[in-house]
Amino acid sequence: MTKLSKKDVLQAGQFTPADLDLILERAATYEAALASGKALDELRGRILATLFFEPSTRTRLSFEAAMQRLGGRVLSVSEAKSTSASKGETLHDTIRTVDGYADAIVIRHPEIGAAEVAARATSKPVLNAGDGSGEHPTQSLLDLYTIRKEQGRVDGLTVALVGDLKHGRTVHSLATLLSRFKVSFLFVAPQALRMPPEVIARVRANGASFRETDDLGRALAESDVAYMTRIQRERFADPAEYDRLKDAYVLTRAGMAKAKASITVMHPLPRVNEIATDVDDLPGAAYFRQSANGVPVRMALLALLID
């Protein structure tokens, strides 16, 4: 029996306060165990399948590291063309098949809602590792974990989400999750890449305050956290539109002069040019610490979801 309120992780809005407490506390325990070099074996004998029908470095490898750090094993598909999906098999049938091989399934897929389809095809836990421009709930958990660790709290913070807010699944999930806390948002995007209405509606329904702007410099001056994102080239129908918007925001060390001294700079990665490399050695540049936090957070999810 799963220790969380649902068998799957599909959307950032699904977690109860008790779920969040369990996940974050367990992740902190695992982070300490990893740091001390202690070997863990809670998932020994268990198998995780990772099915990635879109490119990934961090999400797939950190899920696989998480499973192996808990003593489990991994079956991995990293390219859609290597599966029978390329022969016309439906996602439902692929998942029914993998159900027979693994104890939990992590899926990344280009279509919004694909993880829900997968979850209905199996009684095993399904974890959404990104469904097109929909959601990326496990990323939002590691983002929450990172913010709490870097800033020492979540309530009372001003958080700027910057870049491609229209297509970016990480910011859709993060806005949803953080709006449950006493956070003030600045949604910083060009007019054409603003936060979608359905995400704004969720943020409103949760009672969080937000402002929309296209001015990164002014947003930095007020923000405790600046969460930069990549312009999502693969979601643009028109390459000329991508070219017009691709350099919308570039955070440089010189530009950081406008920011609060205590600012935390985050990015789900991969970066293209949104953060200049001369920002990397500033103390507040947390994006590589953030990606490392993916391991203990995903260990917590796997341990809590797999029987």
Footprint on this chain of ligand NCD (rule: CB under 6 A): 58-59, 130, 136, 139, 169-170, 229-230, 268-269
Q: Which of 6, 7, 58, 182 is catalytic?
A: 58
User: Whole-number minimum distance, CB 118 to ligand NCD, in Å?
Assistant: 17
Based on the residue annotation, tell me whether 6 is a catalytic residue of this protein: no
Q: Which of 109, 136, 180, 267 is catalytic?
A: 136
Q: Which of 108, 124, 169, 202 is catalytic?
A: 108
Q: Which is nearer to ligand NCD, 94 or 173 (CB)?
A: 173
Q: Which is nearer to ligand NCD, 23 or 269 (CB)?
A: 269
User: Whole-number minimum distance, CB 60 to ligand NCD, in Å?
Assistant: 9
Based on the residue annotation, tell me whether 136 is a catalytic residue of this protein: yes
* CA–CA dist 285, 142 (Å, integer): 16
Q: Which is nearer to ligand NCD, 8 or 135 (CB)?
A: 135
Based on the residue annotation, tell me whether 58 is a catalytic residue of this protein: yes
CB atoms within 10 A of CB 111: 14
User: Whole-number minimum distance, CB 194 to ligand NCD, in Å?
Assistant: 17
CB-side neighbour CA atoms (13 Å) of 45: 2
Based on the residue annotation, tell me whether 158 is a catalytic residue of this protein: no
Based on the residue annotation, tell me whether 148 is a catalytic residue of this protein: no
User: Whole-number minimum distance, CB 61 to ligand NCD, in Å?
Assistant: 11
User: Whole-number minimum distance, CB 58 to ligand NCD, in Å?
Assistant: 5
Q: Which is nearer to ligand NCD, 46 or 230 (CB)?
A: 230
In 3D, which of 218, 167, 173 has the Cα closest to residue 195?
Answer: 167
Q: Which is nearer to ligand NCD, 157 or 269 (CB)?
A: 269
Catalytic residue positions, numbered: 58-59, 87, 108, 136
